[in-house]
Amino acid sequence: MAEKTVQYSVIDAFTQSPFKGNPAAVCLLEEERDDAWMRSVALEFNIALTAFLTRITPSVDSENHDRNQRFGLRWFTRGTEVKICGHATLAAAHFLFTSGLATTNTIEFLTKSGLLTARRVDGFKQPGTLASLNENAEELFSIELDFPTIPLIECNPEEHPSIPRTLNGVPMINIKKAAILDDLVVELSSGNAVAELQPQFDELQECAGRGVIITGLAPPGSGFDFCTRFFCPKLGVNEDAVCGSAHCALAPYWSKKLGKHDLIAYMASPRGGRLDLHLEETTQRVLIRGEAVTIMSGLILV
């Protein structure tokens, strides 16, 4: 048995509704654990991403004012560690805000992608929801992540994906590659085409790069600017239900195409999810806003 149990929650990110959005497990480590243990825990949860939080002693500035609270944050799929993950960061922030471990409105995360922040944005109880019927329910709130943009670069012709069964006749309008993530980005003729794809994961696994991000312009009147799906069978995630980090590349791409800095994105996976985006062009940062719902909480005993 471990000297200390590990507190965890499973949280659906980028949604207001349970069992929608993208699930992530969030574990709070009170003692050091090795990478093999974290990989085993992620495999045991058997969901797309597991986030591991560690406490960092708060610091004060020169005037003795408390700074934002800081936590170490790492992300693991079922088989490997990843450099950046949006939905599991949102889930980690939700865990800290709802548990009372975060006492400031902004949390700073030290990660392998540098310093990332999450800011709590308070809202109101919505009529007709379970929260509005419960007098003691906490007011709904969203979380705004501050992430770096990821540049898109040209990919070589030999890197172009060959996925005829997945596309089923839908033409590829444009093909790029996300420089840091090493994902291919494929624009199709419409968001409806993206939503209607029947992915053939054996084809997608053979593509160059880590994964394939497929995106298209949202239908008029939908309330969204663009739609996306993300397939990453090489990392054991056939389809990432709502991928926040992909939008670090997609926000600049669609901002340029549509001539706007505020965008509403929809991940058109079977679970679905909404992301509100703001591109800070001068600083090359993306503000990604979404909500989350805690599904279960418990203790890891080993």
pLDDT(123) > 90: no
User: What does the mean pLDDT of the chain come to?
Assistant: 91
- Domains of the chain with bracketed CATH: 6-149+289-300 (3.10.310.10), 152-283 (3.10.310.10)
Determine the Cα–Cα distance for residues 121 and 132; give it in Å rounded to an integer: 18
User: pLDDT category, 125, cuts 50, 70, 90?
Assistant: very low
Q: How many residues does the chain have?
A: 302
Question: Which of 125-134, 170-179, 291-300 shows the lowest mean pLDDT across its residues?
Answer: 125-134
Q: Per-residue pLDDT for 22 more than 60?
A: yes
Q: pLDDT value at position 262?
A: 98
Structure tokens at 233: 């069978």
**Confidence bin at 64 (pLDDT 50/70/90):** very low
Q: For residues 157 and 175, what is the distance between their CA atoms, to the nearest angstrom?
A: 10
Could you tell me which residue, 41 or 60, shows the higher pLDDT? 41
Q: Are 130 and 140 contacting, i.e. CB atoms less than 8 angstroms apart? A: no
Contact 34, 96 (CB under 8 A): no
pLDDT at residue 60, rounded to an integer: 53
Q: What is the DSSP string of 185-240?
A: EEEES-HHHHHH----HHHHHTSSSS-EEEEEEPPTTSS-SEEEEEEEGGGTEEEE
User: Which pLDDT score, from 0 to 100, does residue 3 have?
Assistant: 65
Mean pLDDT confidence for 186-208: 97
What average pLDDT does range 241-251 have in this prediction?
97
pLDDT-based confidence at residue 285 (cuts at 50, 70, 90): very high
Per residue in 72-104, pLDDT (tens digit) is 999 999 889 999 999 999 999 999 999 999 999
Judge whether residue 292 has pLDDT over 80: yes
The pLDDT score that the predictor gives to residue 135 is: 42
Q: Are 27 and 298 in contact (CB under 8 A)?
A: no
For the stretch 130-182, pLDDT in tens is 443 344 344 589 999 999 999 999 999 999 999 999 999 999 999 999 998 89
